Structures are given as structure tokens and as C-alpha cells.
Amino acid sequence: MSRFDRAASRRHFLQFLAGSPLLAGGGLAAFAGEGPATKFPDPLIWAPLDPDNLIKSPKEAINVFDFEPVCRVNVPPAHFGYMASGIDDEITLRANREGFLKFQLRPRRLNDVSKVDTSVEVFGVTYDSPIGIAPTGGNRAYDPDGEIAVAKAAKVGNHLEILSTQASTSIDDANKARGGNVWFQLYASPSWDIAKALVKRAENAGSPVVAVTIDRVAGRNQETFSRLRRQDARVCGDCHEPGGPDAATRSKPNFAGIDVAAARVPNLLSANMTWDFVRRLRDTTRMKIVLKGILAHEDAKLAAESGVVDGIIVSNHGGRGEDSGRSTIDALPEIIEAVNGRIPVLIDSGFRRGTDVVKALAIGATAVCVGRPYLWGLGAFGQAGVERVLEILRTETRTAMAQCGVRNVKELTPAFVRRA
Ligand SMILES: Cc1cc2nc3c(=O)[nH]c(=O)nc-3n(C[C@H](O)[C@H](O)[C@H](O)COP(=O)(O)O)c2cc1C
């Protein structure tokens, strides 16, 4: 059933576990009892420790982490490494999980929670759940059906979905698979002409929102990616055309018909992006504009007062943008205060549990997006894996809401959460 060389991948997985700092000195036994185990933010360590006994079907999963090691077995080391990687010391990557420990929920009792409505409304559209699909590039690196599988899974649970500029599927095809309403994430590049052409494509495809990513302005050292790539026996150049941005975008359907070479850009990073770009974008498109990558209350306030921004996503790119050490859940309260209800505030980075989602909603987020968890599901079992990941997150969120004594998302106020 594996799409790749299973035996080789399994060997790599064993090396991966053996090389994990979590397992150094004493192996698994050290974590079986009390002691340091509760300090680990990521329970990968607990469930699928036996690589010979990983879940064999989506329905066997008891949490979203169960999919990650199956994905690790199925997916080539370079692709898995790219997905798993943070940057530098991966402090931000870990902070995104640890940040949730800094907040406690305050459950209330004796409310009838026999029916819990988890739906949220964003820009006039109702979604059955507050959990959305964050944009991630090149989903065919994890499963041949890539973004189409993700879009179909998003449709099953009626989830908000954002498609990456760097997707291996066009925005038109993703919209068709999802049944419309897919937001388009924009990597603007340093060239206005490229940005405008991408935005027009999304607009013509019927996307209601462009989510402009504002946190990829510099290069990065993805150390986990670099190390796992060395374990990959395949030749990257067989699939990835070597060369500059023109070559890199040739296989990306959203760039079809866009003359990247003519723009003569050194790379696709938006190092030159300023508020002028956002204002120019406002004059160019009818789509709602959302800024993805806000982390400071000053920028949130500027966005809310700009008159040209319809919403923001609090994001540190899943610990892949810079190694600031700042988790998004830590940044959320000051941002909610600065925005003061003027525009919707979405959030991503590190969300893995229903309680994570409920904490963010209680602080004031409108919705929450996930990245890696659905990629684990995709790499493990294709569309069925993504569906199950989303189902688990929905179930956990509904359960956490009921445990808190709330019947709908509107009832989740800041009174339900406090700094630990
Ligand atoms: C493999 C991978 C590819 C990504 N590609 C993009 C992208 O193309 N555009 C973008 O704005 N964010 C991208 N992101 C960041 C996600 O949109 C999101 O911010 C992040 O994954 C959320 O953190 P989480 O993975 O911990 O849930 C990517 C993340 C991953 C893991």
C-alpha cells in the first residue's frame, strides 16, 4: 500500500527515532513512568512508539499525532523533513506547543451541553467547525492526490480552506474539489506584476479572500529538513527543476501563464513588501484581504485601522518563518485587545488538540487553522487520513466546549481562559 519504498523509509524512521533527543539516554523506558514525561509538549512519544505497530487505518487513530509516524514511513525523508522542519534551534516550533500550557481553561458547571454547536461565521460564510486548513505548498509531496484530496476532505467537514500559491493544484481545481469558497494564499514575490497576476487568477476562480503572507521576507535555515534530506537516496533534481524562481514555479499550476522570468526577481520572497503594497492590492482586487503572519499588537492595530485590511491571521508560519521563540497563542491576547473586534482574527501554528482550539476561541479568535496535522493525515492515508484528522479535531473541540459548559462558540468568552 505504500507509495514509496517502505523498507527504506522504515529504516530511516528507526534512525529518526534513534536520533531523537527525546529518546537519548535510556530509551523508551525512561518515559514509561513518572518523571520528565509530562514536560514533553508533543505526545508523539506516547502513542506510536513501536514502529512495527503503527496505526493501519485512519479509524484506528486516537489522536492526530498517530498519523505523523505513518506519514514518516510513507513519505520520502526529504519531503517529511521539509514538512516537519522549523528553523535554526526550532525554539519557535516547540514554543507553539508549549504556549498552550501557559493558558488554563475555566470550566463552568450545570449548563445543558447535550447539544453543542461548533459552527463559526467568517465573512458571512458559516463553517461547521472553527478549524480551517492552513495553506501548505506542494501537497503532492505527501500523496499523489495532494491538494485535491485535502479539498475533498475539507468539503466533507465543511471546513474553511486556504490554498497555497505554491500548491501543486490550481486555485480553479481546488475550488472545484472543495465546492467553491477556497481562500487564496498569496506569496507576492518582489514583483508587483507577478502578485497582480496571481491575485487575478484567484479572483477569476471565484475565491472570496486573498490571504497575503507577510512573514516570508528572508531566507531560513531549515536544519531538520537539511539533515533528513541527506538520508534521501533519491535525486532531488529528478523532480525539482534546478534554477531560479522561474524554474521553481514552472511546475506550479497557479503560475501557469505568468512570465516569472520576465520579472527578473532574485527569489520569491517578499523582502520589499510594505503597507504600500497592501494599499495597492486593495485598489486592485474585490476580494477580501487578510494578512497572514501578524505577531505584534502594533501591526494588528495598523491592520485594523488601515481601512484596507479585512482580517488577520496570527501566525508564525508554524515555526518556519523566524526563530523568535514567540508562540502564536502567547501573542493572541495583545492582538485581540488591539483589534478590539474591528476585524476577524484567525490564528494558526501548533494547534493539535480541541483544548488548543477552545483556548484560542475563548481569548477571542474567530477561527483556528492547522497545517502539519492534515499533512500527516495526507501522507499516511491520503484523503481518508485528512478526513479523520479533521474529524478528530472536530470531536475534541466539541468535547472541550461541552467540558467547559458552553453550547456555542459565541459563549466562549475570555472568562473561560486565564494565564496559568
Ligand atoms: C510543509 C508546509 C508548507 C507550508 N507552505 C506554506 C505556504 O505555501 N504558504 C503559507 O502562507 N504558509 C505555508 N505554511 C505555513 C502554514 O500555512 C501554517 O502557518 C502552519 O503550518 C501552521 O502551523 P502548524 O503546521 O503547526 O499547524 C506551510 C507549512 C508547512 C508545514
230-263 tens-digit pLDDT: 999 999 988 898 888 998 899 999 999 999 999 9
Of 9-18, 153-162, 224-233, 320-329, the range with the lowest mean pLDDT is 9-18
Q: DSSP for 168-214? A: SS-HHHHHHHHTS--EEEE---S-HHHHHHHHHHHHHTT-SEEEEE-
What's the 137 CA to ligand 1 centre distance in angstroms?
8
User: What average pLDDT does this structure show over 15-34?
Assistant: 37
Helix (H, G, I), strand (E, B) or coil at 74: helix
Q: With contact defined as beta carbons under 8 Å apart, do 196 and 284 qualify?
A: yes
C-beta neighbour count of 328 within 10 angstroms: 29
DSSP letter at 137 equals: S
If one residue of 87, 320, 353, 368 were mutated to test the ligand 1 pocket, choosing by the most ligand atoms within 8 A of its CB, it would be 320
| Grid cell listed for 304 | 485594523
Q: What is the pLDDT of residue 356?
A: 98
Q: What amino acid positions are annotated as catalytic residues?
A: 317
Please compute the mean of the pLDDT values over residues 51-60 and round it to a whole number: 91
Backbone dihedral angles phi then psi of residue 324, each to the nearest 5 degrees: -70, -25
Query: For residue 169, how many other CB atoms are within 10 A of its CB?
Result: 25
Q: Indicate whether 333 pLDDT > 50.
A: yes
- The pLDDT value recorded for residue 1 is 37
Predicted confidence (pLDDT) per residue in 131-148, tens digit: 999 999 999 999 999 999
Please state, in angstroms and as integers, the Cα–Cα distance from residue 91 to each residue in 86, 195, 234, 318, following that order.
Answer: 8, 32, 30, 11
Q: What are phi and psi of 161, to 5 degrees?
A: -135, 140
Q: Provide the 10 A C-beta neighbour count for residue 253.
A: 17
Instruction: Please tell me the predicted confidence (pLDDT) of residue 215.
Output: 97
Is the CB of 371 inside a 6 Å radius of any atom of ligand 1?
A: yes
Higher pLDDT, residue 10 or 224: 224
Q: What is the pLDDT of residue 6?
A: 45
Strand pairing report for 103-105 and 417-419: antiparallel
Ligand 1 close to Cβ of residue 134 (< 6 A):
yes
Is 330 a pocket residue for ligand 1 (Cβ < 6 Å)?
A: no
Whether 96 is in the pocket of ligand 1, judged by its Cβ within 6 Å, is yes
How many whole angstroms from 174 Cα to the centroid of ligand 1?
Answer: 17
What average pLDDT does this structure show over 222-233? Answer: 94
Dist. CA 1–CA 11, nearest whole Å: 17
| Cα Rg, the chain, nearest whole Å | 21
- Per-residue model confidence (pLDDT) at position 358: 98
The full DSSP string for 250-317 is HT-GGGTT--HHHHT-S-S--TT--HHHHHHHHTT-SSEEEEEEE-SHHHHHHHHHHSS--EEEE--T
Mean pLDDT, range 320-347, rounded to an integer: 98
Atom of ligand 1 nearest to the CA of 96: 26
pLDDT of 254: 97
What value does the mean pLDDT take over residues 360-384?
98
Nearest CA to ligand 1 atom 14: 136
Query: What is the pTM assigned to this prediction?
Result: 0.91
Burial class (CB in 10 A: 0-12, 13-18, 19+), 235: exposed
Is pLDDT of 67 > 60?
A: yes
pLDDT in tens, 385-396: 999 999 999 999
- For 7, the grid coordinates are 523498507
Kindly report, residue by residue over 165-202, the tens digit of the pLDDT: 999 999 999 999 999 999 999 999 999 999 999 999 99
- pLDDT category at 31 given cuts 50, 70, 90 is very low
Tell me the C-alpha to C-alpha distance, in Å, between residue 329 and each of 56, 337, 350, 361, 390.
33, 13, 9, 10, 20
Q: What is the rounded CA–CA span in Å between residue 292 and residue 235?
A: 33
Residue 32 has pLDDT above 70, yes or no: no
Q: Which pLDDT score is estimated for 395?
A: 98
Instruction: Determine the pLDDT at residue 29.
Output: 34
